[in-house]
Amino acid sequence: MSDTLRKTLISPSILTADFGNIGEAVRKLEKAKADYVHCDVMDGHFVPNLTFGSKFVSDLKKYTKLPLDVHLMISRPDLYIERFADAGADIITFHAEAECDTEETLALIRARNIKAGIALSPDTPVDVVEKYSDFADLVLLMSVYPGFGGQKFIEDSYSRARKIKDIIIRRGSKILLEIDGGVNFANARKIKDSGVDILVAGSAVFSSEDMGVAIRKLAEC
């Protein structure tokens, strides 16, 4: 299927949601036909911000049947895979820059029958994908420096996405390409044309009047 015909999957990030009313927020996302719920876990060390841990994810799980797309921005993801697996994560993604053995950590995730993702921060060379594509189910390309919602999309992320997609195609891999940070209605089409399968969108979805319309617009542009 060509890039233009393929429907893009949408993974709204709850980082911009009201954490005091998170059950309601994920229920609304389900009604709005999101494909996943993107959960940004930050440890205040790997990134200069703190969010939540596995307890929060397991509480979220009670409110939705949508798959939970857990993005770990933490220094030692290997120590927390079991907890996030027990919490009900459906995808667990951690960073190539984290302080752990990447291959072993991907294997820990897959051993729990969970999709394993590897994330690349904006300064990480895209060829790390060559190294790990056989051990991962998803590549998450950061299009902002991780840590905060509402940042501006970094322009060279289009060509980085295309390079990663080329590696995936060349290797005959089924790995999915997800992009995260600064996705909006103006750039979604160009991102999709760069070979991206899943768009993470925080502020674009949560600051819109109607999340259903916003998600459809992002998916069908």
Note the residues at the interface with ligand DX5 (CB under 6 A).
13, 15-16, 38, 40, 71, 144, 146-147, 149-151, 180-183, 200-204
Q: Crossing angle, helix 22-31 and helix 54-61, to 10 degrees?
A: 50
Q: Which token pair is 20?
A: 């005091």
Instruction: Locate the DSSP E strands across 121-196.
Output: 138-142, 176-180
User: Residues binding Zn ion: what is the number (CB under 5 A)?
Assistant: 3
Q: Which of 35, 40, 69, 197 is catalytic?
A: 40
Cβ proximity to ligand DX5, 96 vs 201, nearer residue: 201
H or E element: which one contains 72?
strand 68-73
Among ligand DX5, Zn ion, none, partner that 12 touches (CB below 5 to 8 angstroms by kind): none
| 194: Cα separation from own chain's centroid | 17
35 catalytic residue (yes or no): no
- Residue 181, CA distances (Å) to 86, 126, 144, 150 in order: 27, 17, 5, 8
What values do phi and psi take at 14, rounded to 5? Answer: -80, 0
| CB-count burial class (<10 Å; 0-12, 13-18, 19+) for 97 | middle
Single-letter residue type at 125? P
Per 3-state DSSP, the chain is made up of helix, strand and coil in percentages (nearest 5) of: 40, 20, 45
Residues from 24 through 63 that contact Zn ion (CB under 5 A): 40
Among ligand DX5, Zn ion, none, partner that 149 touches (CB below 5 to 8 angstroms by kind): ligand DX5
Residues from 62 through 91 that contact Zn ion (CB under 5 A): 71
Q: Which of 75, 79, 83, 66 is nearest to 13 (CA)?
A: 66
40 catalytic residue (yes or no): yes
Cβ proximity to ligand DX5, 88 vs 147, nearer residue: 147
Q: CB of 170: closest distance to Zn ion in angstroms?
A: 27
Among Zn ion, ligand DX5, none, partner that 147 touches (CB below 5 to 8 angstroms by kind): ligand DX5
Cβ proximity to ligand DX5, 74 vs 87, nearer residue: 74
Residues from 114 through 153 that contact Zn ion (CB under 5 A): none
Cβ proximity to ligand DX5, 49 vs 173, nearer residue: 49
Q: CB of 149: closest distance to Zn ion in angstroms?
A: 9
Q: CB of 200: closest distance to ligand DX5 in angstroms?
A: 5
Q: Which of 35, 69, 137, 180 is catalytic?
A: 180
Q: Which positions are catalytic?
A: 40, 180
Residues that bind Zn ion (CB under 5 A): 40, 71, 180
